[in-house]
Structure 1
Amino acid sequence: MSVKHKVFANLYQDSVSLMQISAQISKLPGIEQASVVMGTDNNLIQLRDAGLDNGCQAGPNDLIIAVRGDDAACDEALTMAEQRLNSKPEESVGDGIKRPTLVSLDMALETEAGSNLALISVPGDYAAAEAIKSLQLGMNVMLFSDNVSLEHEKQIKMLARDKHLLVMGPDCGTAIINGMPLGFANVVKRGAIGVVAASGTGLQEVSCRIDQLGAGISQALGTGGHDLHEEIGGISMLFGLDALANDAETQVIVLISKPPARPVAEQILKRAQACGKPVVVNFLGAQADEVGLPGITPAGTLADAAEIAVALLNKRTLPESVAVIADQDQAMLAESSMKLDAQRQEIRGVFAGGTFCYESQLICRQQGFAACSNTPVAGNTKLADIWHSQGNTLVDMGDDDFTNGRPHPMIDPTLRNQRIYQELIDVKTAVVLFDLVLGYGASAEPATELVELLNQVRAQAGAKGLPLLIAHVCGTEADPQVRSRQIEALCQAGVLVAGCNAQAALWASHVAHLQANK
């Protein structure tokens, strides 16, 4: 087994591109692990912890390719990664005239004078400075970069507020601006519902569900996960709320977040009441009476938020919550779980979306099932060893615990699939609960490798059988992966596919109750 690396001095590429290259070379035969990253101090530490540094010397402006595997495979991976890094297509402006390489924000504005939004994806150590430059140039900012301190985030957002500009992020992975998907967004219809979310996968779930219900999105604005901390004060959510209130195309507004700091929540709800439009609020885990004020409709789940918003838009009666199991679903789950051995008692959740893991934990707790997690909700237990489950366990595979030096599972589901395999062969597992997240930047065929794995495990299990698999697919028919095609592949492999994340978690809890009563 060899560990090899190559360093490219003063070569920058954004993190999404690097994760995609990492995912591609990781799949080469003979490669055990691969990472393509910038040489920041944090990344060098992560490479060392992963056993990939091999004495690597690099500065923060240098790009590193590091691989572990068979000697020849490592050489092939390094060559392939270098080819990908150097394979940028040449652009022209017509008549064979090459477009100059843009190396600064100033140059970009000179070339495209009408630009008013900068998408920043540089190492966190430099992200704040680039965001401030963008704001000084009069541009709104989508800050994809993470690892930005709260102090710097507050500095950026206060400057944006003074200049009447929007900052989405840091760590904002999803937005839809004027119909254009940014980051890990989905292809959804244009419409009259505006969304402001402090959660990327939460925004994806709500916007996709709205699309599935036949309505559309006017604007979908991310804020970054720290925006509603008391130190930041919800600056971006408040700005987004005001922007949607003044937007002629937006008729209904949806706000999404994990529970904000109480003073921040009070300020946001007060502003929402005064905005003059119907507002749906899903603060995950908050009680309805904490949110349900005049002009505001609380939503218990992400899917409920979408359902309520569409009903308000169409002036229809508000729907019943999706967190109720229909009689036909109960019958289906009872029939499906009949063959499960009585010792199979535990729920195992394996998620690419952090908010899906969070919401599922809440629903399982409501149904009487506490759990361990690497990202536990209040009342649940921190997982002692993230690589091994303990009782009911729901893990966020997209958290830094699992993505340090590796591609995100939405880009490369290999590590997520390995964890699903681990849960499938555990004789204590009653149900494996998981998500598939579609959209731009996500794996081209996320169901394919997983279905192959399920077929292999099923053949190995023989008469012992497998636990139930329950999934939900976050996406639309217009996404590159085509939602119905992914669902069909899962169903043919014996997976029970729910209509939304909340329903999938409820189904898993119901199966666990049936097993407990055997």
Structure 2
Amino acid sequence: MTMAIKFFRDTYVDSVVQLRGMRAMRETEGVDWASAAMATPANVETLRAEGIEPAQVTDAGSNDFFLVVRAANESQAAEALAVGESTVLSSGPAGDGDRQHDAPRSLRDALRAQPESNVAVISVPGDYAALAAYQALSSGLDVLLFSDNVPLAKEKALKDHALSRGRLLMGPGAGTALIGGTGLGFANAVAPGSVGIVAAAGTGAQEAMSLLDRWGAGVSQVIGVGGRDMSSEVGGRMTRSAISALREHPATEVILFVSKPPSPDVATAVLATAGETPLVAALIGLDPEFPAPPGVVLADTLESGVVAALGLLGMTAPDTTQTLGPSVELSLQRMRPGRSLVRGLFSGGTLCYESLVILGRTIGEVRSNTPITKEWGLPAPDGSHQCLDMGEEEYTRGRPHPMIDPEARVELIHEHAADPQVGVIILDVVLGYGADPDPAGTLAPVCESVMADGGPQVVAYVLGTEHDPQGFTAQRDRLVKAGCIVTETAARASLVAAAIATGDPSLVRIPL
């Protein structure tokens, strides 16, 4: 085998374009492995683990882009690098000749070119993210801070600075927003409406906005605040500001706040500021003893939060459970005896967390790389239920996020399906801007294969709308045709999985 690598100095390449280059190289004859990424310290470590000589990456920096390939011989490696380079350079501004030289190289240059800009989207390594955010806030911009690995102290200082200037600091680690009808990060295409969303959960925001669109309410704004905002350390700084902004937004009639369980004291203080605009707080896994402040409706799943928001508008959600019982019974007939374990392979961290909550209530202990109960972490003992968040660093180091690259889950689907005790596999299929253009096209054939001849059944949830580039119905139908049970909400997917694992179809109609 031959390893070959090519660097592009001071060249930023978007993660979607990186994926295209990687796929093009992997499809080249003789290629055993290939990657395309920015030369961050973590990615450089991955290169070394794959066999790249240390001297080849000594001068690599986080602003450099690289293509790397392992192939049967030198000529095939060189051909693969050429294919990767051609794919990347034809995909966007990074290699677009004269336009690359004209691209702004600082925030000041960008504002000079686009003085009407009012939002900055920052996606740089965490070591540099805080400085970039300070510069944007000081320039009068709201900020979506997509970057993670920003120290807690810097997050608090950034949010205080934003509040002092009357700006929004969405993040760190804020993956989704919809501001003024424009989707930022991993957003879905939704119709305008009267529900404003504040979210300390990326895929939680996507689930809420997609259900509101599909069930006829639409969305006014989506403000992400970052997963740590409701912690005792951050104190809900940006959640308060976001709720206040939506209270003053004339098109917002109901506010839906989405989060994993926050610090109780912070939740009490923040929700007490709800004001006159009706507010639903969908706090996943909420303690049933938590008191509802005046004017606030509490919910403990994403589905029930959206249903409550619809109720405040005088609307009702459709009953999507009628066909699930018969589908569970058919799955039990197709599956070989002895298969009773659940394995969830998630691309969305919030959806994984919600599944852990629902499965914990119905089938007991579920192991995870992001456990609710510390003692239920990994490694998992034989015979355990498991839910894995494959967007976590251990699965994304050196490769794209599973929302961008559905192939990231293919190997694990086969691995878990080969376990004769596994009876059901849960998959979330996330659509929208930034996601893979056809995730069901990759996953459906794999699902059909593992379900054949009495294998484990696959329960899938498609998160998205008809307006998304991938098309909700087309993606759902592709999975249904492969034999998957496809549910209307993420929560129902977990209940269907529990029903198959226990042999009790009645679980699918549990009220949420």
* TM-score higher than 0.5: yes
Please state whether the residue corresponding to 1:226 is helix, strand or coil: coil
Offset of 1:353 from its aligned partner? Answer: 0.8
Find the residue that maps to 1:195 and give its secondary structure: strand
Query: Counterparts in 2 of 1:60-459, with a 5 A limit?
Result: 60-71=62-73, 72-87=75-90, 100-272=102-274, 275-290=275-290, 292-313=292-313, 315-316=314-315, 326=321, 328-378=323-373, 381-384=376-379, 391-457=384-450
* Offset from partner CA, 1:300-353 (integer Å, 9 cap, x none): 21122112212212x25x769x8xx95653233123212323311101111111
Partner of 1:481: 470
Q: CA deviation at 1:498?
A: 0.7
CA contact (8 A) 1:157 1:236 kept: yes
- CA-to-partner distance for each residue in 1:451-475, whole Å, 9 max, x for gaps? 22234445xx54xx21111111000
CA distances 1:376-420 after superposition (whole Å, capped 9, x unpaired): 1126611217xx985211111111110000011111111212211
CA contact (8 A) 1:52 1:68 kept: no
SS of equivalent residue, structure 1 residue 509: helix
The 2-side partners of 1:97 and 1:332 are apart by 54
Change (3 A) 1:154 1:191: same
- Give the TM-score, by structure 1 length: 0.90
Q: Distance in 2 between the 1:122 and 1:164 partners? A: 24
Asked if the contact 1:337/1:511 (under 8 Å) is kept, the reply is: yes
Letter in 2 for 1:439: G
SS of residue in 1 equivalent to 2:290: helix
Task: Determine the C-alpha separation between the residues in 2 that align with 1:108 and 1:222.
Answer: 24
Amino acid of the structure 1 residue aligned with 2:127:
D
Instruction: Supply the distance in 2 between the matched residues of 1:152 and 1:83 (Cα, whole angstroms).
Output: 40
Asked if structure 2 preserves the Cα contact closer than 8 Å seen for 1:369 and 1:509, the reply is: no
Alpha-carbon distance in structure 1 between the residues aligned to 2:342 and 2:216: 33
Counterpart Cα distance in 1 of 2:232 and 2:448: 48
List per-residue Cα deviations over 1:255-312 (Å, max 9, x = no partner). Answer: 111111223212211112xx21110111111124415222111122112211221221
Distance 1:49 1:152, change over 3 A: farther
> Take 2:341 and 2:352, find their aligned partners in 1: how far apart are those partners?
16
Distance (whole Å) between structure 2 residues aligned to residue 349 and residue 33 of structure 1: 27
Which blocks of at least 5 consecutive residues in structure 1 are unaligned?
A: none
Query: CA offsets, 1:143-177, max 9 Å, x none?
Result: 11122111221221111111110011111111111
The separation in 2 between residues aligned to 1:238 and 1:145, in whole angstroms, is 22
Partner SS, residue 232 of structure 2:
coil
- For 1:252 and 1:40, locate their aligned partners in 2 and report how far apart those are by CA, in whole Å: 42
| Greater Cα offset, 116-125 or 59-68 | 59-68
| Aligned CA distance change for structure 1 residues 504 and 490 (closer, same or farther; 3 Å) | same
Write the distance in 2 (CA, Å) between the matches of 1:390 and 1:73. 44
Q: 1:508 aligns with which of 491, 494, 497?
A: 497
Q: Which residue of 1 aligns with 2:508?
A: none
Q: Give, in angstroms, the shift of residue 16 of structure 1.
A: 5.0
Deviation at 1:36, TM superposition (A): 2.7
Q: Distance in 2 between matches of 1:163 and 1:18?
A: 36
Contact 1:308 1:319 in 2 (8 A): no
Task: Report the Cα distance in structure 2 between the residues aligned to 1:267 and 1:53, rounded to whole angstroms.
Answer: 54
CA distance in structure 1 between the aligned counterparts of 2:19 and 2:481, rounded to whole angstroms: 30
8 Å CA contact retained: 1:132, 1:156: yes
CA 384–27 in structure 1, closer or farther in 2 if over 3 Å, else same: farther
Give the partner amino acid of 2:2.
S
Q: Does the CA-based 8 Å contact 1:301-1:359 persist in structure 2?
A: yes
Aligned residues: 500
Contact 1:333-1:507 at 8 Å conserved across structures: yes
* Cα pair distance change 1:407/1:53, threshold 3 Å: farther
User: C-alpha separation between the residues in 2 aligned to 1:7 and 1:89?
Assistant: 17
SS of 1:61's equivalent in the other structure is coil
TM-fit CA distance, 1:433? 1.0
Distance 2:332 2:186 in 1: 35
Contact residue 52 and residue 67 of structure 1 kept, 8 A = no
Structure 2 contact 447–484 (Cα < 8 Å) conserved:
no
SS in 2 for 1:271: coil
Gaps of 5+ in 2: 506-512
Question: What letter matches 2:277 in structure 1?
Answer: K
Q: Quick one: structure 1 residues 326 and 487, their matched pair in 2 at CA, closer, same or farther if it must change by over 3 Å? A: closer
Please tell me whether the aligned partners of residues 120 and 130 of structure 1 are also in contact (alpha carbons under 8 angstroms): yes
Is the CA contact 2:310–2:317 (under 8 Å) kept in the aligned structure 1? no
Amino acid at match of 1:78: L
Q: Contact 1:38/1:123 (CA < 8 Å) preserved in 2? A: no
The SS at the match of 1:356 is helix
1:304 is paired with a residue of what secondary structure?
Answer: helix
Residue number in structure 1 paired with 2:509 = none
Q: Deviations over 1:195-233 (max 9, x none)?
A: 011111110000000000011111001112122222222
Question: Match of 2:467, SS?
Answer: coil
Percent identity of the aligned residues?
Answer: 37
Helix, strand or coil at the partner of 1:480: coil
Check the 8 A contact 2:93/2:99 in 1, yes or no. Answer: no
Deviation of the 1:44 alpha carbon: 2.1
Choose 442-451 or 376-385, whichever is displaced more: 376-385
**Secondary structure of 2:249's aligned partner:** coil
Alpha carbons of structure 1 residues 185 and 32: separation in structure 2 relative to 1, 3 Å: farther
